[in-house]
Amino acid sequence: MSEVQPKSEKQEDAEAVVDVFRKDLGPFVVAAETTRMAMLFTDAKAPGDPIVYANDSFLKLTGYDRNEALGKSFNSLLEQRVDPEVIEKIKSEFEKCENHDNNLDIDYNRKDGSTLFVSVFISPVWDESGEIVQHFVSFMDITKHKEAQNKSEMFIDELNHRVKNTLATVQAIVWQSFKKSSDIQIVRESIDSRLFALSRSHDLLTREHWNGVSFRDLVNEVLEPFGVAGDGAARFVITGRNVRISPQTALALGVALNELATNALKYGALSNEAGCVLIEWAVAPMPAGNRLIIRWQEKDGPTVAPPSRKGFGSQVIERGLCHELAGTVHLDFPEEGAVCTIDIPAPECAHVE
């Protein structure tokens, strides 16, 4: 049986203060001790507004023991864990609440260093003569609300960025389509195909709540019109582990895959009955950061010759992958079929599942 350790003088003094406070306020203290809301009282007449009562919810919320809190000013519990500007704001709120209540939202670390966001309510307590003798302070944990708010703000910023990128891509598609041809029907088909691919990428990202997507799912989604999941499935050989990519990467790769498939349907392996396309990818560890390497290889199609000039499809691929993702694209045209090798930085959210 373990020996009971004697209480320290400091702990006995702290408990004595609580006992006196409990007797003075009676039923209120009983209610304060049973509520889940963190509460404390400070001595407004003493320098620094020292804490004279702290309920269990406050101790649980902050991680302090009662004997660590009693006798200390509220600010002294925060000074090592809060921005000095916040400390000054709290001091100001205590000074301003002579005639009315005040509240403010602050963030700081608990005793163990973990982050905490709270809404602090400060109210004066008067004696019979009208003198402020104490301050009542309550705390509401708003950590989840604050995190949700931050996430919402980040989402709005990201959405604005995506919209701007999408509009820039649409603008480039329309401009270059008209630049490359004066035939309205050809221009219309070109624009429709590319915007349709962009919309399919958006649909996939929306289903995943824009939290990134599986590259394999992106391949299946964008290439579905080319038969990747239907009767033409045998014409696609897809190899690669399930790598998740960021929304920005998915949009750029979706457009690139559509361009490659469109060219294959017009001139390459998908333009005859025997051709096929090999698609493979892997995340390659590099000293400067992981890289996502994607290879598109066409086989058994018509004999291929290098194009005499760079087409719009090549420009779209290079614009999206080189400029937007800081990657590299190599397009080769051996006789047996076109080969495209894409090398881009693996986003932070890219990982092997």
**Res 353: pLDDT:** 46
**Cα distance between residue 137 and residue 121, in whole Å:** 6
- Token pair for 259: 């361009």
Q: What is the pLDDT along the chain (353 residues), one digit of tens a residue?
A: 445 455 555 455 555 655 665 566 555 666 666 678 888 888 888 887 888 888 888 888 888 888 888 888 766 665 555 566 666 766 676 666 555 566 778 777 788 878 788 888 888 888 888 888 888 888 888 888 888 888 888 877 777 776 776 676 676 667 666 666 666 776 677 777 778 888 888 889 889 888 889 999 999 999 988 887 666 568 899 999 889 998 888 988 998 999 899 889 988 999 998 999 999 999 988 888 889 999 999 999 999 888 776 665 566 677 667 777 888 999 999 999 999 999 999 876 555 44
Task: Note the pTM of the prediction, 2 decimals.
Answer: 0.56
Q: Is-contact 87 40, C-beta < 8 A? A: no
Tokens 């005499």 belong to residue: 308
115 strand-pairing partners: 109
Calculate helix-pair angle for 184-207, 143-180, nearest 10 degrees. Answer: 160
**Cα distance between residue 56 and residue 67, in whole Å:** 12
Torsion angle in degrees (nearest 10) through CA of 315, 317, 323, 325:
180
- Token pair for 52: 């004279």
**Res 114: pLDDT:** 82
295 membership: H or E segment, kind and range: strand 291-299
Buried residues in 146-163 as b, exposed as e (16+ CB within 10 A) = beeeeeeeeeeeeeeebe
Tokens 């824009």 belong to residue: 210
**Res 181: pLDDT:** 60
**Res 348: pLDDT:** 66
CA 105 to chain centre: 23
Which residues 6+ apart lie within 8 Å of 6 measured at CB?
none
**Cα distance between residue 331 and residue 285, in whole Å:** 23
The Cα-based distances of 324 to 1, 221, 317, 332 in angstroms read 69, 22, 10, 22
DSSP 86-148: HHHHHHHHHHHTTSS-EEEEEEEE-TTS-EEEEEEEEEEEE-TTS-EEEEEEEEEE-HHHHHH
Complete domains list, the chain, with CATH: 9-141 (3.30.450.20), 146-345 (3.30.565.10)
User: Do strands 213-214 and 236-239 pair parallel, antiparallel, or not at all (unpaired)?
Assistant: unpaired
CA 248 to chain centre: 13
